[in-house]
Amino acid sequence: MVKFIAWRIAQLPLILAAIYLITFLLVWVAPGSPFMPGGERKLDPTVEKMLKEQFHAQSLGAFLRYYPARALRGDLGPSMYYNGWSVNDVLRYSLPVSVALGLFAMVIATVAGCGIGVLAAMRRDSLLDYASLAVALVGISLPGFVVAGILLAIFCDHLHWLPSSGWGTLRQMILPGVALALMPMAYIARLMRVSMLDTLGNDYIRTARAKGLARAAVVWKHAFRNAFLPVFTYLGPAAAYAMTGSFVIETVFNIPGLGQHFVNGVKNRDQTLILGTVLVYAAVLLTLNLLVDIGYALIDPRIDVTAKSPNA
């Protein structure tokens, strides 16, 4: 296990370097300039040259000679759009907001998705089962901004139960949390239903029932643990997606998270902010995937995660 973890950690810098380089090349060739946001007016050539020198963006080579070396020291450079702010400052204030919202959404998605999936499997071909499939279909099919708009129309404009924007209270977290949780909840419910149906057909489940154990005890104490493995696999990327924030959801609900700053960075061609955001997102995704692999061994000791290591 130690060799496996060490090997995966050793891979992280190489993967992050490749992601950084690919993202930079895409940002560099994209039309527009960070010094002319929106293209409203054209800067004086002398002023533009000074700005490029200030941000070390005269050429592709100058950019790569300056910023990657600073990134290795944990300094992602100054923001090209937010005057006086560094990318580290933006991440320091926005990332905790996105993480809090993402954790809240994942709690909703996991609890509700597992509950719906288990109940649907226990009552196969019933009205509840068909309703769960419909919920999963809607959750997977509807884009996040559509869900957000529907929630705003119902709970803000019509019922006036919840605020439409802002951050800092539980009431302000409910609507964006539910909007962000619907898609992963739908996947979890579908995965749990299929996995639970397969698990309930195993011999050890029939043996437990034959011994006189109550159906609820068999399902929740014996079947659920094995049926949860496919869901656990999905939680890694789902948690990374949620904890770094849905870009659209944060923009719709005016939440000062990482997603909203990323959207602003793309609109304003803020190259350093885009690179910093993508790098953080990739690091979170890779870390969570590693934790998921390690968690396999804790949930099911029969799984040998060290088999993935070339040193095993």
* Domains by residue range for the chain, with CATH: 87-308 (1.10.3720.10)
Q: What is the mean pLDDT of residues 298-312?
A: 54
What confidence tens digit (pLDDT) does each residue in 78-91 have?
Answer: 888 878 888 998 88
Amino acid (one-letter) located at 236? G
Confidence of residue 240 (pLDDT cuts 50, 70, 90): confident
Q: How far apart are CA 184 and CA 189, in angstroms?
A: 8
Give pLDDT, residue 244: 63
Question: Which pLDDT score, from 0 to 100, does residue 310 have?
Answer: 42
Please tell me the pTM assigned to this model.
0.78
Q: Helix or strand or coil: residue 86?
A: strand
Torsion, Cα of 41, 42, 47, 51 (10° steps): 80
Q: Does 42 have pLDDT greater than 80?
A: no
**pLDDT value for 306:** 56
For residue 154, what is the DSSP state? I
Is the pLDDT at 237 greater than 50? The verdict is: yes
